[in-house]
A and B are shown apart, each in its own frame.
Chain A
């Protein structure tokens, strides 16, 4: 697969603070690649280095096989959709979109044709004469993307462009953006702190923390096979136990938790017989399992029901008072569960992952 963007050992220091540390990755042509991380993790700095607004302290980045060191943003074959979109309020929609083409001295007739074409593509035909303040949030979004796409960049960078939208519109734009990317086939690099945006839209996601990439993988890999405790904790919800490994057979381990449960699960790295944190997804636990063979079984008491439609949870507690979130499928099979009832939970050893505790509290 041809790589559009190759980043090798990129570093960025601000004084003594290292915002980006030894980041390496490559993005294939036409891929939707997301960089996911909490705010302040260096993802915006990384994006600005790709766009050319920050100069890396060391390392290299190649776009289409050409090194971008020392090349100014206006000369790079990438375009950036800004966090607050940065549409020019002094121009109308068509002038905004034509801005980049005019700078390339494209003929007026050609500009008009391509502007109309790209407006068609983002499903805003006939919006050329509108002023920016007349557009809704979602429409502005699409104009900002159209303004970049009309230039045919090899890579389109997006800096949390959905951040300013309200929740409903954000859900809708997620799907639209994914569809749009599939349609135009441009390589997208999307940065966000919202894991659902990254998981829904991306082909691959890099999870970033404190300037470093923790893991790069498909959304499924990140969710089901996190390689670091940070990824396990940041992507999706997890229930945690601390304990010690008492038996180890390759990846499969037996963990004795601090409250006395013995669980079979998988371990990532580690040398056996050490303190670990066990991560378990709320939906990995089966309520009242019928076929209990091979499952980890234990009892909990329901404390309350957190009803949220398809995303409903049970807040439960073990005998020792350890609180656990358990997914509650809305298939009417569990309507009898009420607060204070005792239920049996089971989970498959494949679904729990133990990580060695590195920094002891």
Chain B
């Protein structure tokens, strides 16, 4: 009796949170996505498939999110290895602070920082011109490469942190043993470090993938008009076109997409979601 009382005290806020803030709004959006002007309809979903701009943006967003996640992973692995295994213990805390420092500033400010560096009249162009490398300013903003760089930069920390914690638990002597048995550096990465870090890689990748897929600010500011992101389509439907029904349908398509890709990723790497927390 007493124990079940305690149970309800702790579970109630969680249930309230889930039901009021997540379940009910989504239910409402789901209903909205099937509403037309007056009646139930599948038109909102049909529009998505008949209008190429919609599903092309959708595919583009998915592909770029996957590329960004992979790039972030490739960059974060050596960073995590350096922080955990190579840097001296005293330096380690300092490096972690350096990693987190940019995240004390809001994402908006960080992105504007990049824009100051990269724009036509920006810092980088000023140096290029004064060194005589170019005669006229180069437009470095508003293309896909810059956008992906910005997304990688924004996501880096969320990949490095889980990787640092799994790499910490890797016994140094395993790396030495592999080396002793004749393994090259690449082989040690492939056979020892990456298999050991798999849980961290998977959870970091899920977080980064979700953040990138759902990011609005970075693609909008750094990608410019040519770099369409699916979140912008949703935003446009809700705010610009005031078509809530269409926006809700897009929102659900994005939810289905992210779930499907994560499910596929887990299947391919042979991991299960429940194992990641342990």
Interface residues of A (CB under 8 A from B): 51-53, 72-75, 79-80, 82-84, 86, 88, 90, 99-100, 103-104, 147-148, 151
Closest 9 CB pairs of A and B: A100-B181, A86-B177, A103-B182, A86-B173, A90-B195, A74-B182, A82-B173, A73-B179, A73-B180
Q: Does B30 contact A (CB under 8 A)?
A: no
Binding site for A on B (CB under 8 A): 171, 173-174, 176-184, 187, 191-192, 195-196
Q: From known contacts A84-B173, A86-B173, A103-B187, infer whether A79 and B195 are also in contact, taking CB-CB under 8 Å.
A: no
Among A84, A90, A99, which residue has its beta carbon within 8 angstroms of that of B196?
Answer: A90
Shortest beta-carbon distance, A237 to chain B, in Å?
34
Name the residue on A nearest B173 (C-beta). Answer: A86
Do A84 and B171 have beta carbons less than 8 Å apart? yes
Known A-B contacts A99-B191, A103-B187; the reply to A86 vs B182 at CB < 8 A is no
> Which residues of chain A are near B176, meaning CB under 8 Å?
53, 73, 80, 82, 86
Q: A74, B183: Cβ atoms under 8 Å?
A: yes
With both beta carbons as reference points, the residue of chain A lying nearest to B196 in the complex is identified as A90
A-B contact pairs, 15 of them (CB 8 A): A51-B180, A72-B179, A73-B180, A75-B182, A79-B181, A80-B176, A86-B174, A88-B174, A88-B177, A88-B191, A99-B178, A99-B181, A100-B182, A103-B187, A104-B182
- Is the Cβ of A83 less than 8 Å from the Cβ of B191? no
Residues of chain B contacted by A72 (CB below 8 angstroms): 179
- B53 CB, nearest partner CB in chain A, Å: 46
- Most interface-central of B171, B176, B177 (chain A CB within 10 A): B177
Shortest distance in angstroms between A79's beta carbon and chain B's nearest beta carbon? 6
Most A CB within 10 A of own CB, among B173, B179, B182, B196: B182
Q: Which one of B174, B178, B181 has the greatest number of beta carbons of chain A within 10 Å?
A: B181
Interface Cβ pair total, 8 Å cutoff: 56
Give the Cβ gap from B173 to chain A, nearest Cβ, in Å.
4
Cβ–Cβ contact A99 & B183, under 8 A = yes
Q: Could you tell me the distance between the alpha carbons of A83 and B179 in the complex, rounded to whole angstroms?
A: 16
Taking a contact as CB atoms closer than 8 A, the residue among B177, B182, B183, B187 that contacts A82 in the complex is: B177
Residues of A within 8 A of B192 (CB): 88, 90
Residues of A close to B181: CB separation below 8 A: 74, 79, 99-100, 103, 147-148, 151
A327 to chain B, nearest CB (A): 41
Task: Note all chain A residues with C-beta closer than 8 A to B178.
Answer: 88, 99
Instruction: Please indicate the chain B residues that have their CB under 8 angstroms from the CB of A82 in the complex.
Output: 173, 176-177
Given A88-B192, A90-B195, residue A74 in contact with residue B179 (CB < 8 A): yes
Residues of A within 8 A of B196 (CB): 90
Residues of B within 8 A of A51 (CB): 180
Assembly CA distance A84 to B178 (angstroms): 14
Bound complex: CA A73 to CA B196 (Å):
22
Instruction: Give complex CA distance A88, B173 in Å.
Output: 10
